[in-house]
């Protein structure tokens, strides 16, 4: 448990990226479960969602550097 707390305090943006990506992927799976996507389409959507979460965290991080 101490390792997790230490990692979170040292790498807050990576932690935020992971948490946001997990949440966004879960919402994606829930919203598109009945669409009938193929495996490669699911993979493309999930990878794109993870990248989008990273970009969101990166853009939000810009404001931290301005203060």
Angle ∠(16,17,21) on CA atoms, nearest 5: 115
pTM for the whole structure: 0.85
Q: Where are the domains of the chain?
A: 10-61
pLDDT (average), residues 22-36: 96
Q: Confidence class of residue 62 from pLDDT cuts 50, 70 and 90?
A: confident
Q: Confidence class of residue 66 from pLDDT cuts 50, 70 and 90?
A: low
Any idea what DSSP says for residue 7? H
Q: Confidence class of residue 65 from pLDDT cuts 50, 70 and 90?
A: low
The pLDDT, as a whole number, for residue 63 is 79
Largest CA distance in the chain: 46
Q: Measuring CA to CA, which residue among 65, 60, 66 is closest to residue 19?
A: 60
Name every residue whose Cβ is closer than 8 Å to that of residue 56 and which is 6 or more positions away in sequence: 20
């Amino acid at each position: 448990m101490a390792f997790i707390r230490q990692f979170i305090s040292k790498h807050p943006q990576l932690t935020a990226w992971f948490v946001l990506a997990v949440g966004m992927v879960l919402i994606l799976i829930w919203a598109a479960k009945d669409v009938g996507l193929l495996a490669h389409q699911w993979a493309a959507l999930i990878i794109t969602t993870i990248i989008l979460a990273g970009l969101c965290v990166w853009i939000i991080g810009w404001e931290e550097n301005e203060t």
